[in-house]
Structure 1
Amino acid sequence: MEGMELKPQFDELQKIFDRCIKHACRVLEECIATKTARLDPDQRQEQERLEYNRIADELAELYLHHSVLSDLRFCYSEPAFLWEGGFFEALHADEKKKYLAFSVSSFDYSQYERDNTAYDAELPYFSAVVNIVVRERYAAYLRQREISLSESAPKSAIAVPPIAETENPFDSILTDEQIAYLAAAVNDVKMFNVSLSADELKAIFACKPQAIVRSNNNRLVAFFFSGLSSRGLITPNWQSVIANHKLFLSKDTSRDKYINQSDLSTATNYIRDVGVEGKYATLEKYLMQVKRL
């Protein structure tokens, strides 16, 4: 079985993961909502901050003991993370065979509820995958609750992105041909919420965007720009350029929250310790080729 021949099996396996993940997420979300329902805003924020830290510690522990699952931190929000992410490719050959041979109709959810490791032998890392995705999505939920709380307070209107005072804030040496090639790269991995034309990407490198686009994955953004910087194609200070010129909206924050330098620094720290897999491998192929154009 190769290529698209695998897709039906992955689609059915994804449904199993989704059912287990959805239930666990709902329980956690309802629990924290109940705990904080009668708290004032400051108390609620503190309680949820403690909960977020607890989840972050649990995630760190899970990733520490299951390095094969490191790609999940980048694709946990994908509806088809099993197919789109690099988890399957990171498995050993015999582990892959188990996933491909598993009879989806044999999965007994009641058995899983009694023991969430019941299928780990037949589907390697099954319970760990569920635990990681649940916690990543719950952490994102907690971040969104914090944003919603801050939005309820009076605030001034968001500032208009500043116009670049220089012609080349990124110190870019990219040619029009290279920018067109990179536009295909960012569209291929769906880095932003819309596809970009070569002219639109060129305007972004000039810090004069035609429209502000939203990041689908801040870590992909960091991987892309750090890759250009490491190849000497743009400034090493790309993080501050993006932040100061308010070039992108962040996926994990409110509609009017720009990606800031802290977001980019955190994303860059994440990508330093992970293997180049999935969408990161796709981007890496483009980045390796761009200097040859």
Structure 2
Amino acid sequence: MEDLETKKRFEIVQRVMNLCISSLYTFYEESIIRKKSVLEFSRLKSMLQDESIRITDELSQLYLTYPVIACVQQYYHEKEFLWESTFYESLDKEQKSKWISYSPLHFQLSTFTANHTAYDEELPYFSIVVRAIVLERYSHFLYQQIESCLLKAHTIQQDDESTMIAEEVETYRPKKKTVVGTSNPFHHTLEAWQIKLLTECVNRSRMFTTTLTPEILTDFFEGKLEGVLISNNNRLLAYFMS
């Protein structure tokens, strides 16, 4: 029964704490979002890394100065921090009494915003706990942003490499030969059976260094060969073409 009553009191104070946390965290997050919209990619990544180091140093100093809030590192993500964490157990008897008896009726967010320590007398370490939770969440947010930048940088590098490879391939790709003039430069009117017969004759005479097919000979007459035919007998070739 006592635990239930304590939990109810914690829930009341937790709502006050959550208001303060949300207000401060929103300021940090929106600041980064605004900077992302104006900074170049390289400067943004550097800024995020510098900011992450600064926040890490500040958190380390807070934990060193106020050992009572050490549990924030483990429980900062909890929505019911006061109930789930060991912070309350770390307080002395007088401090516990202040937290458990606090009434939020006169709490004003504007007062806290103007002076973060305004309620520390009534709630010992209140501003310190709020700041530590905000900075831990902000640090996690920065980590996600840095990861996103690194992923984007990797993607850009891969795209650049792919573009370079494609350009190199295109450079060394054989250019398609353009046939000057119209098709069928020899004006042949040979039918398929005639082409087939000529192909057999050409192959028997070994006019070329390679064996022809009717399709190759047709392309030859129509000026559509993609390669070249090498003659074995130029005189015979001249007679054939006359």
TM-score of the aligned structures, taking structure 2 as reference length: 0.61
How big is the shift at 1:81?
1.1
How big is the shift at 1:146?
1.4
Whether the 8 Å contact between 1:36 and 1:47 is mirrored in structure 2 is no
Which residue pairs with 1:34 in the alignment? 34
Which residue pairs with 2:59 in the alignment? 59
1:231-246 map, 5 Å = none
Which residue pairs with 1:147 in the alignment? 147
Identical positions, percent: 36
How big is the shift at 1:52?
0.7
Write the distance in 1 (CA, Å) between the matches of 2:135 and 2:103.
27
How big is the shift at 1:151?
3.4
Letter in 2 for 1:57: D
Write the distance in 2 (CA, Å) between the matches of 1:129 and 1:92.
16
Relative contact order: is structure 1 or structure 2 higher (C-alpha 8 Å, sep ≥ 6)? 2
Which residue pairs with 2:11 in the alignment? 11
2:94 pairs with 1:94: yes
How big is the shift at 1:107?
1.3
Whether the 8 Å contact between 1:72 and 1:132 is mirrored in structure 2 is yes
Whether the 8 Å contact between 1:76 and 1:136 is mirrored in structure 2 is yes
Which residue pairs with 2:73 in the alignment? 73
Whether the 8 Å contact between 1:10 and 1:82 is mirrored in structure 2 is yes
Which residue pairs with 2:83 in the alignment? 83
Letter in 2 for 1:69: I
Higher alpha-carbon deviation: 39-48 or 78-87: 39-48
SS of 2:135's equivalent? helix
Greater helix share, structure number: 2
Write the distance in 2 (CA, Å) between the matches of 1:64 and 1:142.
22
Which residue pairs with 1:120 in the alignment? 120
Write the distance in 2 (CA, Å) between the matches of 1:13 and 1:6.
11
SS of 1:144's equivalent? helix
Write the distance in 1 (CA, Å) between the matches of 2:147 and 2:36.
15
Write the distance in 2 (CA, Å) between the matches of 1:10 and 1:151.
41
TM-score of the aligned structures, taking structure 1 as reference length: 0.51
Q: How well do the aligned residues superpose, as a CA RMSD in angstroms?
A: 1.7
SS of 1:37's equivalent? helix
Write the distance in 2 (CA, Å) between the matches of 1:151 and 1:14.
37
- The structure having more radius of gyration, on CA atoms, is 2
Write the distance in 2 (CA, Å) between the matches of 1:134 and 1:30.
13
Write the distance in 2 (CA, Å) between the matches of 1:43 and 1:109.
35
Write the distance in 2 (CA, Å) between the matches of 1:111 and 1:38.
32
Write the distance in 2 (CA, Å) between the matches of 1:150 and 1:48.
11
Write the distance in 1 (CA, Å) between the matches of 2:77 and 2:44.
25
Which residue pairs with 1:264 in the alignment? none
- Could you list the per-position Cα deviations for residues 40-77 of structure 1 after superposition, in whole angstroms to 9, with x for gaps in the alignment? 32221110000111111111111111000001111001
Which residue pairs with 1:220 in the alignment? none
